[in-house]
Amino acid sequence: MVTVYEAAGGQAGMVRLAEAWHARVMADEVVSHAFSHGFHPQHSHRLAAYWGEALGGPTTYSESYGDESSVVRTHSGNGPHDEMDRRAIVCFDQALDDVGLTDPLRQVLHDYFAWATTTSMTQYTGSADDVPNGLSIPRWSWDGLESPTN
């Protein structure tokens, strides 16, 4: 069976989606605040590698940039931000439209992003120091979140 990553166009598809999402969030007055202190010049490519790994692609992110602990730390210690999360998901859905993805792939990608935004990335609102070391990037398939033994 084709992975979600492959169905989305592989690395090139992930980069297109990451660039479309980044453009959407930078235009959003609430979500853009998350980037107000700057961001890595290769943010979209790193994000594409992260999403790619999570969606069944190669382990490029883990091998080159960091593990889940480093990603979660980046998103931690800022208190709850439900409105920002909600708007980030709306931006993602708009980016899916921008790159022309349709159901069932669109729904699977929406479900992944909504889960990652509201669950995985929001576990440690108090302090980034609370994030444990050694977390692995969660994997997402056509059926949703995979157990660590999959």
Q: How many CA atoms lie within 13 A of 124 on its CB side?
A: 16
What does the pLDDT read at residue 70? 84
Q: Which of 33-42, 88-97, 114-123, 124-133 has the highest mean pLDDT?
A: 88-97
What is the domain partition of the chain in residue ranges?
4-34+42-145
Pick from 7, 31, 30, 28: nearest CA to 99:
7
Query: Looking at residues 116-128, what average pLDDT do you find?
Result: 82
Structure tokens at 105: 């792939």
What does the pLDDT read at residue 50? 95
The pTM of this model reads: 0.89
pLDDT-based confidence at residue 120 (cuts at 50, 70, 90): confident
Query: Looking at residues 119-142, what average pLDDT do you find?
Result: 87
Higher pLDDT, 36 or 107: 107
Instruction: Tell me how far apart the alpha carbons of residues 8 and 59 are, in angstroms, rounded to a whole number.
Output: 16
In this structure, what are the phi and psi dihedrals at residue 130, rounded to the nearest 5 degrees?
-80, -15
Q: Residue 77: pLDDT above 70? A: no
Pick from 11, 13, 10: nearest CA to 100:
13
Query: Looking at residues 99-113, what average pLDDT do you find?
Result: 97
Q: Residue 1: pLDDT above 70? A: yes
Pick from 106, 143, 94: nearest CA to 9:
106
Instruction: Tally the residues of the chain.
Output: 150
pLDDT-based confidence at residue 150 (cuts at 50, 70, 90): very low
Query: How far is residue 34 from each of residues 39, 79, 90, 118, measured CA to CA in Å?
Result: 9, 12, 15, 15
Instruction: Tell me how far apart the alpha carbons of residues 15 and 80 are, in angstroms, rounded to a whole number.
Output: 28
Query: Looking at residues 119-136, what average pLDDT do you find?
Result: 84
Q: Considering only the top CATH level, what class is 4-34+42-145?
A: mainly alpha
Contact by Cβ (8 Å): 119, 82: no
